[in-house]
Structure 1
């Protein structure tokens, strides 16, 4: 993806400054807020990426949205991105910051892909099981993908557990194709 290296550099620099000032957790909360706000508002994302809209307008919009809700370090990052004409990187910087912060704190992200959104009770049960199995703190991220038909796919780090109906059907189909007792015509 374009700009991920630059976003990673901005995120690392922001995290280093936040750790130095003792606000790493607060800035992480700000980044979660920024990420969710941009993901929920498509118009905001388009505005940040638009080369037609002036930097001054982008700065006023971001200040209006986040000005009173975020830490001074986060506001400094927003201003720096606008000053360097890179406000489109904001969501990438937020995502990278969250990943780096979680790694620093020893928190691992588990992604659960299901055909329908998980209920809160089911999320808690899955989270408890995964934390028990992994032996560390886990953050759960639910992705909805109707193509898996049913069941779920759990990914934690480099481990994958696929218990989806689509996987089972594909497995069954491959077993039928490899059947040695039926002559192939």
Structure 2
């Protein structure tokens, strides 16, 4: 979570990104921004130089233009120049900001294609698949596994089963984890995708699958309660015994039998 100086800088860079992204191929723009973020992560000296608040912004912009001119499109270059011209509270925030805008570009492409709901659902389902398969999780998270091997594994898992946007985002997380756990990265990207339409994400745990009518009623109730559209990620979990729970950020609405039993246990223990 960016704070203070970095948060203000992120807002400025996003404004520049919004101004130049409209004329770009958004999928290509996402790939190029991911590549630039990875470059900053990989080349520590470059990252320190580009995030040095004592170095003049014009000088940093010129260095980056020389480095990237002809290698990326105009929108990616202008976004990256805006990023290095800004001031960041810590060096790592520079790469974080560029990657974040890559996710936003990918999300905007999915929205333009009418596939944003698919991407949200696919990211959630992929997270559940990985969480339930320890060997798969270990392989994807193992830094010793070659990048190409991970790409091929993701291709066999997601090829033909997920949108190009989902594959793009998952590949970025797996190949370039940037210090994150895979679970944490999927959650972070899921929230950024959802924010494309300024919606909240609710994780619903239920003992049985909810019908479409039940999902619609729950989504409508949550929208009324929170004042925002809410995307439901529904997880069937027999351990809840009955009822359902809804988590939105730090808020938990728990109507499950298991939740009531746990509450009684806490009271007795107290």
Same fold by TM-score, threshold 0.5 exceeded? yes
Q: CA offsets, 1:63-98, max 9 Å, x none?
A: 45456655489649837963x586986664443222
Whether the 8 Å CA contact 1:48–1:88 is kept in 2: the answer is no
User: What secondary structure does 1:105 align onto?
Assistant: coil
Q: C-alpha distance in 2, partners of 1:133/1:85?
A: 35
Q: CA offsets, 1:22-70, max 9 Å, x none?
A: 5153685457535534642534433212344333322333345456655
User: What secondary structure does 2:232 align onto?
Assistant: strand
Q: C-alpha distance in 2, partners of 1:126/1:8?
A: 34
Q: C-alpha distance in 2, partners of 1:111/1:76?
A: 20
Paired position in structure 2 for 1:45 = 137
User: What secondary structure does 2:205 align onto?
Assistant: strand
How far residue 163 of structure 1 moved from its aligned partner, in angstroms, is 3.1
RMSD after superposition: 4.5
Q: C-alpha distance in 1, partners of 2:177/2:247?
A: 36
Whether the 8 Å CA contact 1:131–1:137 is kept in 2: the answer is yes
Q: C-alpha distance in 1, partners of 2:269/2:124?
A: 46
Paired position in structure 1 for 2:122 = 33
Paired position in structure 2 for 1:23 = 109
Q: What TM-score does the superposition give when structure 1 sets the normalisation length?
A: 0.59
Paired position in structure 2 for 1:14 = 102
Does the C-alpha gap of structure 1 residues 65 and 119 become closer, same or farther in structure 2, counting only changes over 3 Å?
closer
Whether the 8 Å CA contact 1:11–1:97 is kept in 2: the answer is no
Q: C-alpha distance in 1, partners of 2:154/2:124?
A: 13
Does the C-alpha gap of structure 1 residues 31 and 139 become closer, same or farther in structure 2, counting only changes over 3 Å?
closer
Aligned length: 168
Any unmatched runs of 5+ in structure 2?
A: 1-91
Q: C-alpha distance in 2, partners of 1:151/1:131?
A: 20
Q: CA offsets, 1:117-141, max 9 Å, x none?
A: 2321333322222223333211123
Matches within 5 A, 1:158-173: 158-166=250-258, 168=260, 170=263
Q: What TM-score does the superposition give when structure 2 sets the normalisation length?
A: 0.44
